[in-house]
Every structure is written in C-alpha cells, then in structure tokens.
Amino acid sequence: MTTDVLARAKGRVDAYFGISGHGSTVKRELMAGTVTFLAMSYVLAVNPMVLGDAGPLGDKGMPMQAVFTATAVAAVVGTLVMGLWARYPVALAPGMGLNAFFAYTVVLSMGIPWQEALSGTLLSGIIFFVLAITKVREKIINAIPMQMKLAVGAGIGLFVAFLGLKSAGIVVANEATFVHLGDFHEGTTLLALLGLVLTVIFMVLKWHGAVLYGILATAVVGMISGLVKLPDGLVSLPHGLDQTFGQAVIHLPNVFTNEKMVIVVLTMLFVDFFDGAGTLIGVAHHAGLLTKDGKLDRAGQALASDSIGTAAGAIIGTSTTTAYVESTAGVSAGGRTGLTAVSAAFWFLLAMFFFPLFAVVAGVPAVTAPALIVVGVLMSRALGEIEWEKLEYAVPAFITVIMMPLTFSIANGIAMGLLFYPVIMVAKGRAREVHPVMWALVVVFLAYFFFLAE
C-alpha cells in the first residue's frame, strides 16, 4: 500500500516537472539541487557582511541577523517560484553586485536610509514583473546593445573584486596615490590572502561549493590563530525579520518624493533585468533547454519568477534577489527540471537555522573577502566577449567598466557608458541603430549627473 502511494506520488512529480522527458531521475534532480546550494550558499555569509551593521556599513546597516534570515527566506521564496512555476533548474538569492550597489552607492554615497533603499528594490521588482509578463520584455532586451550589457557585468565584477580587496586589507587608502598596497604584517590581511589562495585552489580542482569551502577553511584557520572567535553555538531559531519585514512597503511613498531614487530604481531594474535574463539563458543553454532557434520556453514565467523574488526579498528585508549563474553547477550534476530548484530551496530553508555559524564568518570581513574577489573574477569574464577592436563599442564599454571601481559607484559607471554609446554611434554614422530607449536614458542620466550625482 505504502509502496503504491510512493510510486504514484513519484509519478506525479515526474509528470509535473517532466523529469523522464528530460532524461533525468528524481534522485539526480535532488542531488543536483544539493550541488547548486553548495555552489551558492556563500551568499548566506557574504550578504549579511555587505548589508549588515556588523560590516562596513556600521550603524547605517541593517541588523545582521535580520539580513541573514531575510537572505535565506528570499532564496527559498524566489527559488521555489522558479522551480514550481517556471520549472527551470535555476536557484535565486540576493545578488552579488546589486547588494554592493545597495550598500555602498545607495546607503553610503547617496545617504539614503536602508528602509528607503528597500522600497526602491521593491519598486524595481514590480516594474520588472510588469515587463516580464508583457511583450515589452523583448523590446527592452533588444534596446540595450549586447556590448554594453557585457560591460555592465564586467564592471560590476571589478567593483565587487575591489570591495573584496578593500575588506581584506590588501588595498588601502592613501592620500598621495588614492590607493596603496596594504600591510602584509597584519594578521587579518594574511588570513584573507590564505583564504583567497585556498578558494582558488578549490575552484581549479573544480570542487562544487569551492567558494563555500574556501570561506569555511579560512574561518577555521582564523579560529585556530585567534583572529576569528568561536561560534556561540551551532543552531538557533530564525528571527530578526520583525526589524526589516514590511519596511519596503511602509517607506514606498518616499521613493516618489526623492529624486535620487530615479537613478537608484533604474539601475536596480537595469542590472536585475539583464543579469537575470542573461543568467537564465546561459543556464538553459548549458542544460540543453533552449529551443532550436535559441529561445527560452516559458521566458515570461522565468523572468517573472526573478521579479517576484526581488519584490518578495525587498518586503522581507534584503537587496535584489536574482537568478544565480552557480545554478550551472547543478546542471553539470544532471539537473534539468524545476525539481532541482525545489531541492536547493529546501537546503536554504534548513540553513536558516544555522545563524551562529554564519554569523562568525559574516562578522569578519577578511573571511568573506576572498569570496568577493573570486566572484568578481567570475563576473569579469565578460571582458573577453567585448569587441575591443571596434571603438564604438570599446570606448563606452571601457568607461562603464573603469568608472564603477574608480568612482565607487555602479550607477556612475552605467550612466557614463550609456551616455557615450549613442554619441559615438552618431559620430560613426550609425544613429539609426540607437534605440529610442537609449535616447530616453541619455536624458535621464544627464539629469542625474547635473542635478543628483555627488
């Protein structure tokens, strides 16, 4: 009797996700979800460090435990929607790069409170959802040239790597030269360097979860050397969301009265929309799930799942939630359907109870810095796809990439690059190739630099 019930349940799961049709098995899908979780679980340590009050933001940051819980809940919600509705083997979590934009550009540079920044994230998610479920999504995707999309991704990679080098103490401020090599006699700097070496070795060996293992190994060495304190315990009940939940909704009216929020919402929407679309297509291509003409089935559901993750994450209390390219690790392990995503969501739900362990890691920037540097390296691979021999692409792409770390602002990099692109295209005699959306952005970004940028 029990065997029959299990067999029928397994058959329904198979039929719903199309597991057999994709040449996979339930067991393989569940294992693939585990691999995906291991590959991206570092976000549970890094995101609280970037956004939390125990990290560089200090008292301007959000309560660290609340960020940890919100990170896990947002990952569970976004990944379940992707797995159960869009049925793709793609996991979601608060994105690297956009969390840095949230913390360092919006909160620190612009002086916008984190509550209002969450409202901007929520609004960007709502707009994203509207674009995703309508045919406007194709027009928007085609409006921005691929070369600029690549430049934005690479620039964010350099920015994230710079943050990691700064957190590690490898790069420090200098009045004469602006930046300088850090003090390698400092214990935390040496610990970060060791962590970077270990993480790179794990990645070269192609270990699934290499970034997580690097963080754990660095933390253990730090505990042995006395640079990292021992955890107070192993498990605890999730809490802290009472401090962040709903703040995005409460402060949403402020978004419409603060002119600075225009560029904030546009940047969040731009990066999330194109990064999400690019990641989904990349993972689907790796899994052999694209149609014969290279398109993504259920593209509307997939992109809408990303936007729902962003909106839900903002309401819960974290920065933009987006599809993770680390999902390719699960695909490489055989994942082909939404059951892989459901499996990854289960592990994020379980991880929610291990805050004491992640808190120790998140509280020491030197431990998480190697993860930021490595993620920056991975994101910067897009540099190789830019057509550098064509100046009409090379110049705006270079300006986009270089301005992000040098001005310590993702928004500045995007704005500068997208201002140069149409001007150069006109000079090249290719004005007709510039989409009207690009000219609208030129007006917005000019207003930003003249009236809002600081």
Q: What is the pLDDT of residues 236-290, one digit of tens each?
A: 988 899 999 999 999 999 999 998 999 999 999 988 888 888 888 878 877 888 7
In a domain, 81, yes or no: yes
pLDDT for 93: 97
Q: Does the pLDDT value for residue 143 go beyond 80?
A: no
On whether the CB atoms of residues 412 and 453 are closer than 8 A, the answer is: yes
Q: State how far the Cα of 146 lies from the Cα of 390, in Å rounded to an integer.
A: 14
> Helix 365-379 crosses helix 187-204 at what angle (to 10 degrees)?
40
Nearest to 284, CA basis, from 341, 342, 220: 341
* Percent of the chain topping pLDDT 70: 97
For 226-354, where are the alpha helices, taking DSSP H only? 247-250, 252-255, 261-287, 299-316, 327-332, 338-351
In a domain, 229, yes or no: yes
Q: Which of 58-72, 419-433, 436-450 has the lowest mean pLDDT?
A: 436-450
Q: State how far the Cα of 304 lies from the Cα of 314, in Å rounded to an integer.
A: 15
The bridge status of strand 178-181 relative to strand 171-174 is: antiparallel
Q: Does the pLDDT value for residue 1 go beyond 60?
A: no
Q: Does the pLDDT value for residue 142 go beyond 80?
A: no
Q: State how far the Cα of 263 lies from the Cα of 271, in Å rounded to an integer.
A: 12
Q: What does pTM read for this prediction?
A: 0.86
Nearest to 253, CA basis, from 75, 119, 439: 119
What's the domain count of the chain? 1
Q: Does the pLDDT value for residue 222 go beyond 90?
A: yes
pLDDT for 31: 93
In a domain, 170, yes or no: no
In a domain, 410, yes or no: no
Reported confidence tier of residue 72, pLDDT bands at 50, 70, 90: very high
In a domain, 353, yes or no: yes
In a domain, 404, yes or no: no
For 82-209, where are the alpha helices, taking DSSP H only? 98-100, 114-132, 136-143, 146-168, 187-204
| Structural domain for 25, as ranges | 7-145+183-377
pLDDT for 453: 58
In a domain, 402, yes or no: no
Q: State how far the Cα of 407 lies from the Cα of 416, in Å rounded to an integer.
A: 11
For the beta carbon of residue 386, count every other beta carbon within 10 angstroms. 20
Reported confidence tier of residue 2, pLDDT bands at 50, 70, 90: low
Average pLDDT, the chain: 90
